[in-house]
């Protein structure tokens, strides 16, 4: 610190002023060194060219994209492909002429659903279902098996199977390879009985087959049930009944019209058909022969097939195969329903 008493007042103030000026210069110098250089720098030609090129490319891409949206339609997202489903159907052998045609038509309408059919007698199919159910749908020639399976399912405390539904009505015929049947089979049987000729007549088991029960009812209705000259030969199913009659083991046999019209029939049956060796019996003379089905594994695909089966097209194909349609809302236009 400067002592003004030692140097005098004038010299003292001059010395202080120089000291302050020196400090000010020192501070200014320090502050100037800390400030950034704010002078503008001209961009180099290379940098300017890159910036211009980047913008031009982005702009051209934007214009190109907009142009594509106007002149070229943008491809829509492809619809998800349907997953292929396989339905396993257990079907009575009687259906072996109708189902192949129905399967072909159904696959045309539903290409994503594959149908695999297993044919056998209703009793054998029902036994397989009880042991290990590998099927999705069961189409039987008798209500006995579907009703039994459904009742057993209910007793187990759950709706394991769908409720049985009627999909067709059978037609009963009297068939023979020994006698030429006419449109009046009752008259033919009367004439044979008058000649005291014992007659062996084959039929399927009435306790299991609706065709067997229908045959019994027809015999009662035509006053043949009490005849001692008629010997009834019951067989386990329609296939055995048909085979026994076709081989001449019985004089007559009660079978289904579908069996006679089946495309899988052999030469003997074709010949019998041509010579009118079967007679279609009036449905007014026996109780309805109801064919039932059941969904064993409910699914959208199973429901689609059942709906097709009961549709007018499905019922028409069954009618052509020898069945009577189920005359519901979808099939009222069919001739058999009028």
Give the whole-angstrom CA distance, residue 230 versus residue 317.
37
Give the whole-angstrom CA distance, residue 247 versus residue 179.
13
Q: Which of 134, 136, 142 is nearest to 95 (CA)?
A: 142
Strand order in the sheet with 172-175: 230-235, 199-204, 252-256, 172-175, 278-280
Q: Is the pLDDT of residue 160 over 70?
A: yes
pLDDT at 320: 93
pLDDT at 166: 96
Token representation of residue 47: 């940098």
User: Residue holding tokens 């009367």?
Assistant: 190
pLDDT at 154: 83
% of the chain surpassing 90 pLDDT: 57
* CA 175 from centre of chain: 37
DSSP per position, 199-234: EEEEEE-TTT-HHHHHHHHHHHHTT-TT-TTEEEEE
Q: Helices 143-155 and 122-131 sit at what angle, rounded to 10 degrees?
A: 20
Task: Name the CA radius of gyration of the chain, rounded.
Answer: 48
The answer for 101, left when phi > 0, alpha when psi is -120 to 50, beta otherwise, is alpha
Element (H or E) spanning 148, and its range?
helix 143-155
Mean per-residue pLDDT, 205-211: 93
Higher pLDDT, 41 or 10: 10
Neighbour-count burial of 173, counting CB atoms closer than 10 A to its CB (0-12 exposed, 13-18 middle, 19+ buried): buried
Q: Which of 144, 174, 170, 162 is nearest to 277 (CA)?
A: 174
**For 50-54, 164-168, 245-249, which range has the lowest pLDDT when averaged over its residues?**
50-54
Q: What's the CATH number of domain 172-280, 3.40.50.9100, 3.40.50.150, 3.40.190.10, 3.30.9.10?
A: 3.40.190.10
pLDDT per position as a tens digit, 62-108: 333 334 433 334 344 455 566 789 999 999 998 998 999 999 999 99
pLDDT per position as a tens digit, 16-39: 556 555 555 544 554 454 444 444
Backbone phi, psi, residue 90, to 5°: -95, 120
Element (H or E) spanning 252, and its range?
strand 252-256
Domain coordinates in residue numbering, the chain? 85-170+288-328, 172-280
Higher pLDDT, 80 or 48: 80
Q: Is the pLDDT of residue 256 over 90?
A: yes
pLDDT at 186: 94
Higher pLDDT, 268 or 51: 268
pLDDT at 132: 85
pLDDT per position as a tens digit, 308-336: 999 999 999 999 999 999 886 655 566 66
Q: Which of 89, 101, 138 is nearest to 258 (CA)?
A: 101
pLDDT at 61: 38
Give the whole-angstrom CA distance, residue 268 versus residue 20.
139
Mean per-residue pLDDT, 163-170: 95
Token representation of residue 313: 């097209």
The answer for 166, left when phi > 0, alpha when psi is -120 to 50, beta otherwise, is beta
Q: Do domains 85-170+288-328 and 172-280 have the same CATH topology?
A: yes
Q: Which CATH architecture has domain 85-170+288-328?
A: 3-Layer(aba) Sandwich (3.40)
């Amino acid at each position: 610190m400067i002592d003004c008493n030692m140097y005098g007042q004038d010299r003292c103030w001059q010395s202080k002023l120089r000291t302050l000026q020196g400090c000010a210069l020192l501070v200014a110098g320090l502050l100037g060194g800390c400030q950034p250089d704010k002078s503008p720098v001209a961009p180099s030609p290379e940098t300017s060219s890159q910036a211009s090129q980047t913008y031009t490319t982005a702009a051209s891409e934007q214009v190109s994209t907009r142009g594509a949206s106007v002149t070229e339609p943008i491809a829509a997202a492809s619809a998800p492909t349907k997953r292929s489903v396989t339905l396993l159907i257990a079907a009575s052998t009687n259906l072996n002429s109708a189902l192949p045609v129905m399967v072909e038509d159904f696959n045309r309408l539903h290409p994503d659903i594959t149908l695999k059919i297993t044919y056998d007698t209703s009793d054998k199919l029902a036994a397989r279902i009880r042991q290990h159910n590998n099927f999705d749908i069961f189409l039987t020639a008798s209500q006995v098996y579907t009703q039994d399976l459904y009742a057993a399912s209910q007793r187990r405390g759950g709706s394991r199977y769908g409720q049985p539904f009627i999909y067709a009505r059978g037609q009963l015929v009297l068939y023979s390879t020994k006698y030429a049947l006419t449109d009046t089979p009752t008259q033919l049987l009367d004439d044979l009985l008058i000649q005291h000729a014992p007659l062996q007549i084959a039929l399927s088991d009435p306790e299991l087959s609706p065709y067997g029960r229908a045959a019994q009812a027809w015999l009662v209705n035509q006053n043949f049930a009490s005849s001692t000259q008629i010997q009834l030969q019951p067989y386990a199913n329609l296939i055995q009944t048909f085979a026994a009659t076709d081989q001449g083991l019985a004089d007559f046999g009660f079978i289904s019209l579908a069996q006679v019209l089946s495309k899988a029939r052999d030469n003997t049956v074709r010949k019998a058909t041509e010579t009118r060796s079967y007679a279609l019996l009036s449905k007014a003379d026996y109780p309805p022969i109801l064919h039932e089905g059941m969904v064993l594994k409910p699914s959208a695909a199973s429901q689609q097939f059942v709906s097709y089966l009961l549709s007018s097209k499905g019922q028409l194909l069954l009618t052509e195969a020898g069945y009577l349609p189920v005359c519901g809302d979808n099939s009222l236009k069919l001739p058999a329903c009028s």
